[in-house]
Structure 1
Amino acid sequence: MSELSASLDAPFIHPLADVQSPHIGAGTRVWQFVVVLAGARIGRGGNVCSHCFIENDVRIGDRVTVKSGVQLWDGLTVEDDVFIGPNVTFSNDRHPRSGHRDFVREDTVIERGASIGAGAVILPGVRIGAGAMVGAGAVVTRDVRAGLTVVGNPARTLPCSPQPEGT
């Protein structure tokens, strides 16, 4: 393998990022002021914009975009081709208390090809289905079925949202 092809396969990690994980896929870009803890796994061809935090037990697929100001907490799985807009908020504890380390973690899954608009809030334990769209500022309190578009607080399906087959 030539030196040029080796560099094309390597992830780009900005010198001002703190990436402790060795599991960053080829072609992924991690920008300045991003923190990635040692146990996190990030796939190939992704883009993690500045000022993001990725905790240990986070799995991110291939070609995922994470825009600025997003924190990804333990128990989050993000499948391939997902878009996470700026300042999207995730949580993994339904009843947070200061100093409480023995909370019941609720895992969240964002399925392949879903998009989450800027400033949306995703409560713990939900599943956002493949190809679903979460509107900017929506508060997702329950599962979103594949292919649907949800907006508002709490998030509700748009009346014109296409219904997946078999529903």
Structure 2
Amino acid sequence: MAVTIHPTAIVDAGAQIGDGCRIWHWVHICAEARIGTACSFGQNVFVGNDVIIGNNVKIQNNVSVYDAVRLEDDVFCGPSMVFTNVYNPRSSITRKNEYRPTQVGRGATLGANCTIVCGCTIGEHAFIGAGAVVNRDVPAYALMVGVPAKRRGWMCSCGIQLHGTGEVSCTCGTSYQIDDANCRLL
């Protein structure tokens, strides 16, 4: 399947872009970026050189995916959400050798206007609420909201909030084992 690239987009020579990707208005993808299949990049998205993006990733308008960010398959990045890559930036001090890696697990949702501070790992199918600020690792299936983000529950891989502890089934039929600190697929 062909890659669709809007005429205003800039895709630097050398960028690896998988089949079926859609690259919309004013997007810039740098030369060393590696992008899987069937991804979508909304208006005004920037993708740095040292970035790996899996398959079926949706990046909405006004998102910059900076160096040292890794997005696994099926990640959703909401409009204007933010990644960082330097923990303590100063204009007068170059810290490109201090980038902290950020890993976002398969199927995670990063809500509109949330911020992911560099060095964090977001577990698979985690759900980061709109406007949340994540400054520490997030377990799989966690629902995180607030500033700083705190866990307020658990989410099914289908995107429905789970309730209860012990063995819990979602309305979609998927079952989980939930306790105070973990949620795991059965």
Same fold per superposition (TM over 0.5) = yes
| Deviation, structure 1 residue 42 | 1.0
Aligned equivalents of 2:120, 2:184: Cα separation in 1: 21
Aligned equivalents of 1:160, 1:109: Cα separation in 2: 19
Secondary structure of 2:184's partner? coil
Structure 1 match to 2:101: 107
1:13 to 5, 10, 26: 5
Secondary structure of 2:103's partner? strand
Aligned equivalents of 2:50, 2:154: Cα separation in 1: 36
| Deviation, structure 1 residue 10 | 2.0
Q: Which has the higher strand share?
A: 2
Letter matched to residue 184 of structure 2? E
Structure 2 match to 1:57: 50
Which 4+ residue blocks in structure 1 deviate beyond 3 angstroms?
159-163
Moved more, 72-81 or 96-105: 96-105
CA spacing shift, 1:159–1:146, aligned 2, 3 Å:
closer
Tell me: higher relative CO, structure 1 or 2? Use CA pairs within 8 A at least 6 residues apart: 1
CA RMSD of aligned residues (A): 1.5
Aligned equivalents of 1:165, 1:88: Cα separation in 2: 27
| Deviation, structure 1 residue 159 | 4.3
Structure 2 match to 1:3: none
1:28-70 deviation per Cα after TM superposition (whole angstroms, max 9, x unaligned): 0000100000000111001000101111000000000000000
Letter matched to residue 31 of structure 1? W
Identical residues among aligned pairs (%): 40
Residues 13-52 of structure 1 correspond to what in structure 2 (within 5 A)? Answer: 13-20=5-12, 21-52=14-45
Letter matched to residue 24 of structure 1? I
1:131 to 114, 125, 131: 125
1:132-164 deviation per Cα after TM superposition (whole angstroms, max 9, x unaligned): 000000000100000110000000001466541
- Structure 2 residue runs of 5 or longer lacking an equivalent are 156-161, 163-177
Aligned equivalents of 1:34, 1:90: Cα separation in 2: 16
TM-score of the two chains, using structure 1 as the length reference: 0.90
Letter matched to residue 83 of structure 2? F
Aligned equivalents of 2:109, 2:120: Cα separation in 1: 15
Aligned equivalents of 2:46, 2:143: Cα separation in 1: 27
| Deviation, structure 1 residue 22 | 3.4
Letter matched to residue 95 of structure 2? D
Instruction: Number of aligned residue pairs: give it.
Output: 158
TM-score of the two chains, using structure 2 as the length reference: 0.81
2:144–2:151 Cα contact (<8 Å) kept: yes
Aligned equivalents of 1:105, 1:63: Cα separation in 2: 26
CA spacing shift, 1:160–1:49, aligned 2, 3 Å:
closer
Structure 1 match to 2:165: none
